[in-house]
A and B are shown apart, each in its own frame.
Chain A
Amino acid sequence: MMTENFALWVYLSRTPLLWLTVTICAYVLADRVSIRLGRHPFANPVLHAVWMIGLVLAATGTPYRVYFEGAQFVHFMLGPATVALAIPLYAHRKTVARAILPMAGALLVGAVVALVSAVAIAQALGVPHDVLVSLAPKSVTAGVAMGVSERFGGDPTLTAVLVMTTGVIGAIVVTPLMRLTGITDMRARGYAAGLSAHGIGTARAFQVDLLAGTFAGIGMGLNAMLTPILVPVLLPMILR
């Protein structure tokens, strides 16, 4: 019996099937809870799916590399999903075209604040130099941020972790924070979520409002273009 179970485990742990299934099941569970709790910010499906899977990996002694061989099929869909952002963008094209000026100004201010504040605060708290470089592009979508980090001497895998953490923090704080400011303009709220917290912020914005999600997608896309240009300019000015 024991050896049969072991043989089954050996089979499962070598195919992408197991970890792909675990990823989707953990997400479905986290998402159901999120829906049940009325999309409460703290019921963020990414956050809760991540720790559940992390526990399964720890309990089974599975290295991340093995897990990712299965989960990469889900990860891969990020590319097509980014392209798909063009569809809501097209549907709202008139609203978007009217907001060109506010978007341009907010892009510049938001991207600079996101970069400078994160690096300056971490530096003041004694975080070492190489980690600061990995931290600089944290508001940008993972693929781009990892490329930026690598180019300027950071650690891409660390950047991926910092990017994900930023996304989850942004998705959790954006709704309560915006309520606090009293701003009801869904364009501005969504745009801020996408710019500051990339795809996870955009996913959150789509949960709240379709127009907010559309503007979040634009904010994410534009910041993915601006931050790679800002990092080499601003980083030397902040680092001591």
Chain B
Amino acid sequence: MIVSLGLLLLCQLVGEAVARATDLPVPGPVLGMALMLSLLLARDRLERVTPVELHDGTLERTSNALLANLSLLFVPAGVGVVQRLDLMATHGVALLVALGVSTVLALLATVATFRLIARWSGDA
């Protein structure tokens, strides 16, 4: 588990370093995700030089445990709402309407476009 966690952190670290050094608009953890994906794609060929945790399902178990509790990780930032109760009192209703309608529109637009192109490109 520790090796898997270390590997996740290492990918994030490299991602952050690259994002900062190149001034890319892409966030570090997202680059880290791309790096982890390429590691996974390469692991079958690099079986001898990569740690055993990459092959025996440990990485999968650690990652899935982390992702199963993804909601928890948003709680500290979410509690940040207590800092902005003043703004919520003055513009709360307008902001809630804007966020609510916009989120519904974005969900519908995304899912409809996805389905349209999928059907058009012959993928049921």
Q: Give every chain B residue within 8 A of A80 (Cβ-Cβ).
A: 5, 8-9, 12, 29, 66
Q: Does B37 contact A (CB under 8 A)?
A: yes
**In contact, A81 and B70 (Cβ under 8 angstroms):** yes
Q: Give every chain B residue within 8 A of A86 (Cβ-Cβ).
A: 11, 33-37, 40, 63
| Chain A nearest Cβ from B100, distance in angstroms | 6
Q: 1/0 contact trace for A55-84 toward B, CB 8 Å? A: 001100000100110011011011111111
**In contact, A82 and B29 (Cβ under 8 angstroms):** yes
**In contact, B95 and A162 (Cβ under 8 angstroms):** yes
For chain A, the bracket of interface size reads 35 or more
Beyond A74-B72, A125-B97, A162-B95, whether A106 also contacts B117 by CB under 8 A is yes
> B28, B68, B87, B100: which contacts A131 (Cβ < 8 A)?
B87
Q: Give every chain A residue within 8 A of B116 (Cβ-Cβ).
A: 102, 105
> A78, A219, A224: which contacts B26 (Cβ < 8 A)?
A224
**In contact, B66 and A103 (Cβ under 8 angstroms):** no
Q: Does B101 contact A (CB under 8 A)?
A: yes
**In contact, B94 and A126 (Cβ under 8 angstroms):** yes
Chain B minimum-CB-distance residue to A84: B63
**In contact, A64 and B67 (Cβ under 8 angstroms):** no
**In contact, A183 and B115 (Cβ under 8 angstroms):** yes
Q: Does A98 contact B (CB under 8 A)?
A: yes
**In contact, B110 and A219 (Cβ under 8 angstroms):** yes
**In contact, B80 and A161 (Cβ under 8 angstroms):** yes
**In contact, A166 and B29 (Cβ under 8 angstroms):** no
**In contact, A113 and B109 (Cβ under 8 angstroms):** yes
Expressed in whole angstroms, the Cα–Cα distance for A64 and B81 within the complex equals 9
Q: Does A135 contact B (CB under 8 A)?
A: yes
**In contact, A71 and B75 (Cβ under 8 angstroms):** yes
Q: Does A167 contact B (CB under 8 A)?
A: yes
Expressed in whole angstroms, the Cα–Cα distance for A99 and B100 within the complex equals 28
**In contact, B111 and A173 (Cβ under 8 angstroms):** no
Q: Does A168 contact B (CB under 8 A)?
A: yes
Q: 1/0 contact trace for B29-59 toward A, CB 8 Å? A: 1101111110011000000000000000001
Q: Give every chain A residue within 8 A of B91 (Cβ-Cβ).
A: 127-128, 131
| Chain B nearest Cβ from A145, distance in angstroms | 10
Expressed in whole angstroms, the Cα–Cα distance for A219 and B95 within the complex equals 24
Chain A minimum-CB-distance residue to B37: A86
Beyond A23-B76, A50-B79, A203-B74, whether A141 also contacts B27 by CB under 8 A is yes
Q: Give every chain B residue within 8 A of A131 (Cβ-Cβ).
A: 87, 91, 95
List A residues 194-210 near B (Cβ within 8 Å): 195-197, 199-200, 202-204, 206
Expressed in whole angstroms, the Cα–Cα distance for A143 and B94 within the complex equals 24
Q: Give every chain B residue within 8 A of A143 (Cβ-Cβ).
A: 27, 29
**In contact, A99 and B118 (Cβ under 8 angstroms):** yes
Q: CB within 8 Å of A: which residues of B?
A: 5, 8-9, 11-12, 15-16, 25-30, 32-37, 40-41, 59-60, 62-64, 66-68, 70-84, 87-88, 91, 94-118, 121, 123
A and B contact pairs by CB, cutoff 8 A, 9 listed: A45-B71, A75-B76, A84-B67, A106-B109, A121-B102, A125-B94, A127-B95, A142-B77, A199-B70
Known: A84-B62, A109-B109. 16 other contacts (CB 8 A): A45-B72, A50-B78, A54-B82, A85-B33, A86-B63, A88-B63, A99-B118, A102-B118, A117-B102, A119-B98, A138-B102, A161-B83, A169-B100, A192-B107, A192-B114, A202-B70
